[in-house]
A and B are shown apart, each in its own frame.
Chain A
């Protein structure tokens, strides 16, 4: 028995090194892998993950009619039809020339089809709807669309990601590429893959979008955060989603 175990162990060591040498193992790490066991369990348990409260609320809002058209999301979109949608946003909607993120897409649908006022950024309603949609893509690999029109926006996002900003004169890349995995004030610097958005961040004691996280980081490097409707966020989101291509979505994520 022991010999078999050692043989199996050796075989797995061999295969792991072999695979590593082939470069086929994905070394990218989701923030999930860098958090403590307690938080991982909190995220994994759908009745302990506070984000699931918002998924539940989102499901209720999905069925609620709104606007002068008096239509609900569910009137047009069948239950479960949003599977995989969150994994491919931001994308450029039909008849548009600029990409929108998931929250932006929800508001587009609201104004165009429901003829309702757009929901305020970071409002509980918008985040809950986004969480409900994103939840349906849980476990799906991030798959940015192959739309060639996204190219310039991705390039713009990459440029912002590498641009030094703020009084601390830091770029996203300095922390999240060059120093990821090291410690910043006792906390492991994550690789900044947007795998779990919208996330329930314990520090916020609320659900928050990727935009809120980006604003948080900008304030952290003592830069002036872009306005909520600035296209810079969406460009950065396009780049980040491309950078995390293939990683599974885990929305709603829990983060410290």
Chain B
């Protein structure tokens, strides 16, 4: 169970530009840091973040080890039809987290 906070408008007018903000709890371990035993802590980051609108991809982001712990992503989309905005984070060690928010356009 991953903790996620999403901020997206519940309603929008057709053609309106909406901002979608997403925050997720994740260590984003770089893979460059030595642990207390002197050994390198294995990399554990989110590699990809993908947003879909009714299943159609609208935003994709490739994350790097330089991105901070608990990454916050904000992006814009043009509201065309009512439906579901799907957010999906995938990463190292088989990490997978998904969240969906409903939006009404009209």
**Binary interface encoding of chain A residues 63-97 relative to chain B, with 1 for a CB under 8 A from any of its CBs, else 0:** 00000000000000000000000000000000000
Which of A47, A48, A60, A206 has the most CB atoms of chain B within a 10 A radius of its CB? A47
Known: A52-B5, A53-B3, A57-B3. Is A47-B70 also a contact (CB below 8 A)? no
**Binary interface encoding of chain A residues 35-64 relative to chain B, with 1 for a CB under 8 A from any of its CBs, else 0:** 000000000011110101110110010000
A33 within 8 A of B: no
A3 within 8 A of B: no
B75 within 8 A of A: no
A47 engages B5 (CB within 8 Å)? yes
Instruction: Determine chain B's interface SS by DSSP, over half rule.
Output: strand
A227 to B18, CA, bound (A): 50
Known: A46-B5, A47-B6. Is A53-B69 also a contact (CB below 8 A)? no
Interchain Cβ contacts within 8 Å, total number: 36
Chain A residue with minimal CB distance to B28? A205
B21 within 8 A of A: yes
Using a CB-CB cutoff of 8 Å, which residues 38-91 of chain B contact chain A?
68-70, 72
Name the one of B1, B23, B25, B68 contacting A47, with C-beta atoms under 8 angstroms.
B23
- Which of chain B's residues have a CB closer than 8 A to the CB of A46? 5
Interface size class of A (residues with CB under 8 A): 10 to 19
A46 to B3, CA, bound (A): 14
A53 engages B23 (CB within 8 Å)? yes
**Binary interface encoding of chain B residues 1-14 relative to chain A, with 1 for a CB under 8 A from any of its CBs, else 0:** 10111110000000
Name the one of B1, B24, B69, B72 contacting A48, with C-beta atoms under 8 angstroms.
B72
Minimum C-beta distance from A108 to chain B (A): 26
Chain B residue with minimal CB distance to A59? B3
Chain B residue with minimal CB distance to A46? B5
Minimum C-beta distance from B95 to chain A (A): 16
**Binary interface encoding of chain A residues 131-150 relative to chain B, with 1 for a CB under 8 A from any of its CBs, else 0:** 00000000000000000000
A47 engages B3 (CB within 8 Å)? no
- Which of chain B's residues have a CB closer than 8 A to the CB of A52? 5, 23
A48 to B69, CA, bound (A): 13
- Which of chain A's residues have a CB closer than 8 A to the CB of B70? 50, 53, 205
A142 to B95, CA, bound (A): 41
B7 engages A45 (CB within 8 Å)? yes
- Which of chain A's residues have a CB closer than 8 A to the CB of B69? 205-206
Give B contacts to A, CB under 8 Å: 1, 3-7, 21, 23-25, 68-70, 72
The contact sample of 25 A-B pairs, CB cut-off 8 A, is A46-B5, A47-B6, A47-B7, A47-B21, A48-B21, A48-B23, A52-B5, A52-B23, A53-B3, A53-B4, A53-B5, A53-B23, A53-B24, A53-B25, A53-B70, A54-B3, A54-B25, A56-B5, A57-B3, A57-B25, A60-B1, A60-B3, A202-B68, A205-B70, A206-B69
